[in-house]
Every structure is written in C-alpha cells, then in structure tokens.
Structure 1
C-alpha cells in the first residue's frame, strides 16, 4: 500500500503556484517584466540582437522555416523557433531566461556551446527556465527551438551584473 501511495504521488502533476502578484526579482533579473518587441530571425543574417539585461517578447517562426546555425539540441517540427545575436566584450557566464517551454542553444561559430547549469526561475516570477553558458568574448547566436507558443519572452543576463565589487585591502 505504501508503494502504491508513493507511486501515485510521484505521478501526480506538479501544480503551478497561485500568484497574487509577481515575485520581486534579484539581479540580474530585475528588468524581466519590462520588455520591447522583436521578430526572431529565421536565419542568422538579420537576426535581432539581444542586449544584456533587456528582455524582449519575440515573435517566433514555425521551426521548419528556421535556418538554425547548428542543429538544435532538441527539435520539435510542430514547434516554433527563432534566432538572435548576442555580442560580448569579454568572457562571461550568461543566463538565457525564457517564459515558456522551449529549447535554447547558444552557438559560437558553427558549434553549440554546452550549458553549465539550468533551472527554473523564482516562483511567481514569470521566468520558466534559465540556462547558463560560459561564453567567450565575441558574437554568438542564441537559438530557440521547440517552443509550443508563437511568442516567447527572452532575456540574456550576465551572472555578475550589478554584483558588489570586493574592496581591495
């Protein structure tokens, strides 16, 4: 009986929290609720730029019409996708946050960069997932694939944004 109860609990869907108001966010996500609009690129040339700390609500394209820079880590032919550029002056740990279910890759050159960490955003924040990448300086392509919705809120943030600098002794 105990095993049956444990199996039933494990199989039960996890309910989303009921939120009376959005949760306040800590750095580097404080600007998450602000946003502009963008049309995600269907090819690298002409893909819009993501600016660190500036979220956008992006219109996506059916994935079959997106020319990905590298094969997505996960692809859903019935989903939506899109491309963005991200330029960094120096190497950094960058988090890519999304408000809905989708796969996110960062491509340097023609190779997808392995993520170093991933997780959910704070409860009631509107951030569904955050995927972290250690990226070198330069221009990168951020790819969204397998999104069920035709739009996604996306934000790139530097892990060290607005962190206090240690005082020198």
Structure 2
C-alpha cells in the first residue's frame, strides 16, 4: 500500500547542482520509465496564468522557461497544511497535460522546484518523491496517482529561470 506524501515534502532546496566531477564519462543506466529523458527536450514557455497554459506531451521532455514568481498567478494554492519555504527571487509557471488512462504518473525535473499537479482548482497530494538516478541530470522525481483527464502542472519556488521537465506515463 502506497502512502500519500504531500507535495510540500519534496524538499526543493537548491537549483540543480553543478555537474558532479565523478560523473564525467559515466554512462547512466536509465530505468525503463525515464529513458525518454535522454531525447532532445522541446522548448516551452510556461504560462503566468492557468487559462493560457501550454500543453506538455507525456513521455516527451520539455525545456520550460519560467517567469518571475511575482508575475505568476498560480493555478491553485497549496493545501493549508503545506508550509512551503519560499526564496525571495524565484520563478514559476503553469503548464497542462492530458492523462488518457488512469495510473501512476511521474514528474521529473532537472532542478529544485515545487511541483503541484492541479485538478479542479486543487493541488493533489503526491504519492512519493525521490532523486533521479546518479549522474542522470534528474534532480527529483515526484509521483502522482491520476485518473484520466486534463491536469495543470504548476512549477514554483525555482531558483533557476528554466527547467527540464518530463511527465512520465505509466509503464507496462
């Protein structure tokens, strides 16, 4: 049985670290669900309001340009129980994606940022979170159990103005 882990537990503390010198020349062994991380990311500019959110395609990485947080109206406020520390100058943005069938979806990022998946104006709880494989460039992976439908992906509290994101569909 999976335990629900609030999205605030994601621990976005720092932007992606400089390349680890110990990773030079190391071939990354990708788990099957993250193999798409290695393909060229499509450029996307995140919206500053939910009505204009561009659509991501699950399974295709995107290099997302974010906006200064002050100019972004988030799709949903985090649940009141979530207390997120916010740095003074951060970046944020809103995207959307469609889930054709229910299942476990993952959101992978190359930098520290808060990830919220929003449905019907409410941020959903994540089911787990972890770091990406060593030397992969993936900073974090957050899992969500999603029903079929369209969702908004809200990225916030990023210390960097652009992040690579991959919505990972269920494997199997």
Task: Tell me the TM-score normalized by structure 1.
Answer: 0.81
Equivalent position SS for 1:159: coil
* 1:63-99, Cα deviation, whole Å (9 max, x unpaired): 1111111114534441101111011122121100000
Gaps of 5+ in 2: 1-17
What's the counterpart of residue 33 of structure 1?
38
Equivalent position SS for 1:131: strand
Determine which structure has more spread, i.e. the larger CA radius of gyration.
1
1:4-83 superposed matches below 5 A: 16=20, 18-21=22-25, 22-34=27-39, 35-72=41-78, 74=84, 75-83=86-94
* 1:11-36, Cα deviation, whole Å (9 max, x unpaired): xxxx9562124513122111112211
**Distance change in 2, residues 1:78/1:88 (3 Å):** same
Cα distance between partner residues in 1 of 2:123 and 2:21: 34
Check conservation: 1:101, 1:147, Cα contact below 8 A.
Answer: yes
Gaps of 5+ in 1: 1-14, 164-169
* 1:7-60, Cα deviation, whole Å (9 max, x unpaired): xxxxxxxx9562124513122111112211110111112211111110011110
Task: Tell me the TM-score normalized by structure 2.
Answer: 0.80
Cα distance between partner residues in 1 of 2:159 and 2:24: 26
Q: 1:92 aligns with which of 84, 87, 103?
A: 103
Check conservation: 1:88, 1:138, Cα contact below 8 A.
Answer: yes
More contact order relative to length (CA 8 Å, sep ≥ 6) = 2
Provide the aligned C-alpha RMSD in A.
1.7
Cα distance between partner residues in 1 of 2:88 and 2:105: 28
What's the counterpart of residue 155 of structure 1?
166
What's the counterpart of residue 121 of structure 2?
110
Paired residues, number:
147
